[in-house]
Amino acid sequence: MAIIGAGFGGICAAIRCLQSGFDDLVVFERASAVGGTWEANTYPGAQCDIPSALYSFSFAPNPEWTRLYPLQREIQAYIARCADDFDVTPHVRCGHDVTDASWDDLAQVWRLTVNGSVVTADVLVGATGPFSEPAHPDIPGLDDFEGDVIHSARWDHTWSPTGKRVAVIGTGASAVQFVPRIQPNAQHLTLFQRTPTWILPHPDRPVPRAIRRMFARVPCTQRAVRGACSLVQELMVPGLVSHPGILKPAAALGRWHLRRQVDDDALRAALTPTYQFGCKRPTFSNKYYPALSAENASVVTDAIVRVHPTGIETADGAVHEVDSILLGTGFKLAAGEGFSRIHGRDGRSLSDTWGTGEMAAYMGTSVAGFPNFFLILGPNSVVYTSQVVTIEAQVDYLLDALTGMRDRGIRSIDVTRAAQDRFVDEVDAGLAASVWNTGGCASYYLSPSGRNVTFWPGFVFTFRRAMRHVRWDDFDVVRDTDLPGRPSVESTSAAVRR
């Protein structure tokens, strides 16, 4: 088995597979260390927006989180510690970039090109995650800018804002976190805002040492906190999925937070969202609005026309002279390079199969035409809580598939197009009234055609239940007995050790 990616998804898959006796596996990670999203995103202020009690594997609680919302460096350290504690580290190959993975239908194996060498695997797990490849905006002249251009996911820690005129493009979760860290030292910070973000008061607090000791000595207390946090997250599902009116109190809290922190009427108007709460990803911050209210900060809402070598021109004709440009512009999803490297039975890549962003998968995990391929955090698998929960449910599904294949003498499984189309139709119907679809905004949750390619249309427990067992009738199956004279192949691990 080959696993691409050593973030939460890849490490969880490796841990559970090893525990279940599927030990002929390798984890390929192109970065120099494990951590995935939390290895890549090291910008100032990087922090998870899910409570720390929820942001860990259920089988590996972490009583040592220092804050209610975990910091980037602690999350990466946690993932690395889990890899060590569960004996996954010997199976991880950091600095190994999978440049191609193609299904060989004759041999019934995946052939991977890794750092120029070819290895084979019976099963391929794609755990690259949705936030692995930065998206750079297509703005004329950006490549000709004479100053620094830094994306939040490729932060340059040698760069300093001190004394610089800094432009920030993008107002998503990353920008909300790094803007307050940059503004105090910048000569001037200019935020170029296309769409304002719903921002709520941040409940983050340090976790007292006494509480951490209690969690370590009496684990059931931390499990209770985890359950309470999960319940709070789940209470938002009806409002998000079917009855957006339920979210009005959250919107009222957001407007109150804005009024409380921004006195200037014009700035407050510019920062007030005009779409429903929840349509775009809301975030938490107690420092973002004060940073934008400072004397050395300004918010520009006119569209960017082009970038000049020393500044940014907007639609009103103004040219804003800046020394550095910081991009908080998110990530490529369907257009990610990783999807162009995975080729199915007919030779087409995932990117080609999905076209211009119309991602589709069965149970968010299997894609028709890609046998023995399991996608972690694939289309319509996201539940509105910790994505570690989604990952664990998908790994349960992977294990049920592997066990069934071993016990039934199955060489490969490929979800049928009819089953995948049926799943997509059911999801689309379940999300038709959701705030993501009807809230009046454009977001990365939606494909170019407007289809919601991100969320599961229901509660966490319904997703877990659906992922508990493979529905074998939904798959085309090739058994070992169907392959007389099949060419022998090397195991993945053996090939990697050469």
| Strand, helix or coil for residue 397 | helix
Reported as a single tens digit per residue, the pLDDT across 368-412 is 999 999 999 999 999 988 999 999 999 999 999 999 999 999 999
Instruction: Say whether pLDDT at 334 is over 80.
Output: no
**352 C-beta neighbours (distance < 10 Å), count:** 13
Question: Looking at residues 271-300, what average pLDDT do you find?
Answer: 96
For domain 135-204+226-330, the CATH architecture is: 3-Layer(bba) Sandwich (3.50)
Domain coordinates of the chain in residue numbers? 2-133+332-482, 135-204+226-330
| Helix residue ranges, H only, 263-386 | 265-270, 288-293, 337-340, 350-354
Q: Which residue in 127, 136, 152, 172 sits closest to 35, CA to CA?
A: 127
- Domain 2-133+332-482 identical in fold to domain 135-204+226-330: yes
Evaluate whether 396 touches 63 at the Cβ level (below 8 Å).
Answer: no
Give dist(CA 145, CA 141) in Å, integer.
Answer: 7
The reported pTM is 0.94
The CATH number of domain 2-133+332-482, selected from 3.90.79.10, 3.50.50.60, 3.30.1330.10, 3.40.1160.10: 3.50.50.60
Reported as a single tens digit per residue, the pLDDT across 1-35 is 999 999 999 999 999 999 999 999 999 999 999 99
Length of the chain: 498
Reported as a single tens digit per residue, the pLDDT across 210-267 is 999 999 999 999 999 999 999 998 999 999 999 999 999 999 999 999 999 999 999 9
Apex 287 CA angle, 283 and 292, nearest 5: 100
Q: Which residue in 171, 30, 22, 183 sits closest to 99, CA to CA?
A: 30
Q: Which residue in 75, 68, 90 sits closest to 36, CA to CA?
A: 75
Helix axes 8-19, 72-85, angle to 10 degrees: 20
Q: Which residue in 199, 183, 134, 189 sits closest to 165, CA to CA?
A: 189
- For residue 485, give Cα distances in angstroms to 31, 80, 121, 331, 463: 39, 42, 18, 45, 40
Helix axes 209-217, 219-234, angle to 10 degrees: 110
What letter does residue 117 receive in the DSSP assignment?
A: E
- Higher pLDDT pick, 74 / 355: 74
